[in-house]
A and B are shown apart, each in its own frame.
Chain A
Amino acid sequence: MTIARHVKNACLALIALSSVGALQSAFAVGTPAGTTINNQATVDYSVGGVPQNQLSAAVPFVVDRKVDLTVTEVSGNATLTTPGQNDVIATFRVTNNGNGSQGYQLSIVQDVGPGFVVFGHDDNLNVNNLRWFVDVNNNGTYDGPDNETNIGSLATDADGESRLVFVLADIPVGAGNNTYANVRLTAIAVATDGSTLTQSSALDDPNVEQIVFADAGRDRTESAADQYHVQSAALTITKTLQVISDPFNGGSNPKAIPGAVVQYRIRMINASTTTAATAVTVTDNIPANTTFVPGSIRLDAGIVTDANGFIAGPPARVVVDAGAVPPNNGTTDGQVDVTFQVTINN
């Protein structure tokens, strides 16, 4: 009897040890697919005051594969860009929220608006040359084109569970100010060998790892949108003339008579509050019956030499590289003037 009790106690001790040992493993994410969970209950009892051998009943089941993913737009804002800019990057993140490694097939489409509002603005522009690249080395920055357009495998640990995807587009030169182009990245979870996943429709087999789609919509497919917001300079040009002097009145109420000096002013106004117009060149032919006044070209208050601003032609003309017209943003006034003078021929 005593020996039997000892045997029983030894069994209990073993069970206690094994359960404590089992408790020490921990997983950062969910229990991995394919893990067997075993529940073993025990009962101790007596009959007629005599303790009986302990009995146990076990029920094992296998944790099934939870396929769950999210696709998110990283910046939380539209990507600001300008007309004609190439390789403009919109960044997405694909995250594995499941309990097993998965691959992901990626695709990108752009909305053809109207009717697709992202970040409060409807789609009204199409961008060119859409491409996407996976941040294969996981360094968080776009390192140039490569061949990886799908994600081979994302693990379930905190370091390996997500990957950035860079979507590149070229902005049409003719894109207007405050136009918007939406792009959408879609990721479809696949097996790590790239093969298609099928959700198990059969009843649960407690001994087999089966597949459960647990993402929104339960279709193993998620997508997110980003937007290219084109900000263009919006230049308007006005040309005015002023008679500076004539041979008879001098500078006092001068009249446009032969020999009079006339000043032309070409004023460029940038209506954009954010974007400078760059590489602005002003070309203006010298009117017939007038003669250019050497040394008279000004870019705002600055002198432009004739060598840099006057071409004798024909046609005789003023060509001034005005550089940039800044935005009208409170700091800069968004305005640049080019002036030059001519004399009316005798």
Chain B
Amino acid sequence: MGTRDWVLAFAATLLVTTLTAHAADKPCVELKTSGETEQEVVEQGNKVKRLVPIDKIVPGDEVVWTITAKNVCKTATDNMVIANPVPEHMTYVVGSAMGTGTDITFSVDGQEFKNAADLQVRAADGTMHVARPDDYRAVRWAYKASFAPGAIAFVRYRAVVK
């Protein structure tokens, strides 16, 4: 390897390091995931359902997952996509995904995302069937609009402990 090659290689390394450091130092989005359960509580004499922090969790319990994203930069962010693999040992509650201003798609293999109506799964015998709750592997929310500085938004879905 000649001197010129050394310089090039060094320059390339430097470039990568700088970019990575830049992006890592100043992420423009703060992401937070929280799990809660829905419980019936009495407020002013009426029974209402409220989300409360996760208490003890056993098989069969339903968890409401909320993922909150906040733009903490002084510039707008675009093309924001939140993704959440359905956790291991949990089953997605079909129809529970919501997110204002997002296109919600799902995946049965963790790679290809489609609308819920288009989710098809190939059974062991080769036939295709509509995805069942256990087939949902991941949920993805794609924001249609950009995020202004300081904007905050959340997406949500439910899953049951197997």
Which A residues form the contact surface with B (CB < 8 A)? Answer: 1, 3-4, 7, 15-16, 19-20, 22-23, 25, 27, 29-31, 33, 35, 37-49, 51-53, 55-59, 61, 63-66, 99, 200, 203-204, 206, 210, 212, 214
User: What residues of chain B lie closer than 8 Å to A29, measured between beta carbons?
Assistant: 59
Interface residue stretch chosen among B40-48, B76-84, B119-127: B76-84
Question: Which listed residue (B15, B28, B34) contacts A47, Cβ 8 A?
Answer: B28
Nearest A-chain residue to B111, judged by Cβ: A16
What separation, in Å, do the CA atoms of A55 and B78 have in the docked complex?
15
Which 9 pairs of residues, A with B, have the shortest CB-CB distance? A30-B59, A66-B58, A19-B85, A22-B88, A45-B80, A53-B23, A31-B89, A41-B84, A57-B31
16 A-B residue pairs with CB within 8 Å: A4-B23, A27-B89, A30-B59, A39-B35, A39-B84, A41-B82, A43-B83, A44-B80, A45-B29, A47-B28, A51-B79, A55-B29, A57-B32, A59-B33, A61-B57, A204-B55
CA distance A65 to B34 in the complex (A): 22
The reply on B137 being an interface residue by CB < 8 A is yes
Contacts of A99 in B (CB 8 A): 58-59
- Nearest-neighbour CB distance to chain A for B155, whole angstroms, equals 9
Q: Does B20 contact A (CB under 8 A)?
A: yes
For A19, list chain B residues within 8 Å (CB).
85, 110, 137-138
A41 and B57: CB pair below 8 A?
no
Partner pick for B12 among A3, A30, A49, A58, CB 8 A cutoff: A3
Chain B residues lying within 8 Å of A204, measured Cβ to Cβ, are: 53-57
B148 within 8 A of partner (CB): no
Q: Which of B15, B24, B32, B69 contacts A53 (CB 8 A)?
A: B24
B32 touching A63, Cβ below 8 Å: no
Structural contact, A61 and B85, CB atoms closer than 8 A: no
Q: Are B31 and A55 in contact (CB under 8 A)?
A: yes
Residues in A with CB closer than 8 Å to B53 are: 204
Q: Are B33 and A57 in contact (CB under 8 A)?
A: yes
Q: What DSSP secondary structure best describes chain A's contact surface?
A: mixed
B32 / chain A contacts, CB cutoff of 8 Å: 57
B98 within 8 A of A: no
- Sample of 19 more A-B contacts, CB < 8 Å, known A38-B87, A41-B82, A204-B54: A4-B20, A20-B109, A30-B58, A30-B162, A37-B87, A41-B65, A43-B67, A45-B147, A46-B77, A46-B78, A46-B80, A47-B76, A47-B77, A55-B29, A55-B31, A61-B54, A64-B58, A65-B58, A212-B58
Q: For chain B, which range describes its interface: under 10, 10 to 19, 20 to 34, or 35 or more residues?
A: 35 or more
Contact in complex: B79, A45 (CB < 8 Å):
yes
| Closest chain A residue to B162, Cβ basis | A31
Asked whether B90 is an interface residue with its Cβ less than 8 Å from the other chain, the reply is yes
Residues 62-99 of B, flagged 1 when their CB comes within 8 A of A and 0 if not, give 00010101000101111111111101111000000000
Contacts of B60 in A (CB 8 A): 30, 66
CB nearest to A18 among chain B residues? B85
Q: A20-B109, A40-B85 are in contact. Are A52 and B31 (CB under 8 A)?
A: no
Q: Verify if B19 is at the interface (C-beta below 8 Å from A).
A: yes
Contact A23 B137 (CB under 8 A): yes
- CB pair A46–B79 under 8 Å, yes or no, is yes
Q: Which residues of B contact A56 (CB under 8 A)?
A: 31
- Contact among B16, B57, B87 with A64 in the assembled complex (CB-CB below 8 Å): B57
Q: Does the CB pair B59–A15 fall under 8 Å?
A: no
A48 CB, min distance to chain B CBs, angstroms: 6
Task: Tell me if B29 and A43 are in contact (CB < 8 A).
Answer: yes
CA distance A45 to B143 in the complex (A): 10
B87 lies within 8 A of A53 (CB): no
- Say yes or no: is B27 at the interface (Cβ < 8 Å to chain A): yes
Q: Which residues of A contact B33 (CB under 8 A)?
A: 39-41, 57-59
